[in-house]
Copies of this chain bind each other. A is one copy, B any other.
Amino acid sequence: MIKLYQLHPSGNCYKVRLLLHQLGIPFETVETNISAGETRTPEFKAKNPIAKVPTVELEPGVFLAESNAILWYFAEGTPLIPSDKLERARMLQWMFFEQYSHEPYIAVARAWIAFYGVPPGKERELEERIQKGYAALDVMEGELKKRPFFAGERYSIADIALYAYTHVADEGRFDLSRYPAIRSWFERVQAQPRHLRLSDAVPPATR
């Protein structure tokens, strides 16, 4: 069975749980204590040299890392990746935007504020991250005024990638009340078949 090395509250790990559940792919999870350095051991780095979760074990000894690459792997050949070439590239555009211009600000602010505390001396850096996080939300709001989902007319893995940390951005003190188009999109994402919430326990491994 697919094994997901994860930290449950991580949005990056939630992306993978949400997709696997929506696709009806059974999986089990291995909770990984990042704070205790469990991703930095030689044993873990043999699974994923980048030393991060999520990491999936596809079959014994075969690993794949980076949340958005994992989404791609499982969604290939399903309606969650657009069949049109340009829409597919646009989907990837928004997934790279998520990792470069969104996650480092919104996810890190949430991690510091809601989980780990702001590291000493990083108060000014937190303010910068919040400012850049709002810039990412502004971009998303503008897009969602124009189309229902990031890759076009249909829900895709770009929506999963961006939903993961955006819908809990308030835990990083982001005020989402100013973003009506984003909040409408939350409802469309949550209305998809077999939606799973971030806080939901891992579903039983049944199709």
| 8 Å CB contact of A99 from B64, B76, B99 | B99
Answer whether residue A96 sits at the interface, using C-beta atoms and an 8 A cutoff.
Answer: yes
Answer whether residue A189 sits at the interface, using C-beta atoms and an 8 A cutoff.
Answer: no
Closest to A135 in B: B51
A93-112 CB mask vs B (1 if < 8 Å, else 0) is: 10111011101100000000
The number of times this chain is found in the oligomer is: 2
Q: Kindly state the separation between the CA atoms of A88 and B66 in the bound complex, as whole angstroms.
A: 13
Task: Give the contact-size bracket for chain A.
Answer: 35 or more
| 8 Å CB contact of A69 from B50, B90, B125 | B90
The answer to whether A96 touches B96 (Cβ under 8 A) is yes
The answer to whether B104 touches A89 (Cβ under 8 A) is no
The answer to whether A50 touches B139 (Cβ under 8 A) is yes
In the assembled complex, the CB of A3 is this many whole angstroms from the nearest CB of chain B, namely 16
Sample (28) of A-B pairs whose CB atoms are under 8 Å apart: A49-B143, A50-B97, A58-B86, A62-B86, A64-B86, A65-B93, A65-B97, A68-B92, A68-B96, A69-B92, A69-B95, A72-B88, A72-B89, A72-B92, A73-B85, A73-B86, A76-B88, A76-B89, A95-B96, A96-B96, A96-B99, A99-B99, A99-B100, A100-B100, A100-B103, A104-B104, A121-B124, A125-B125
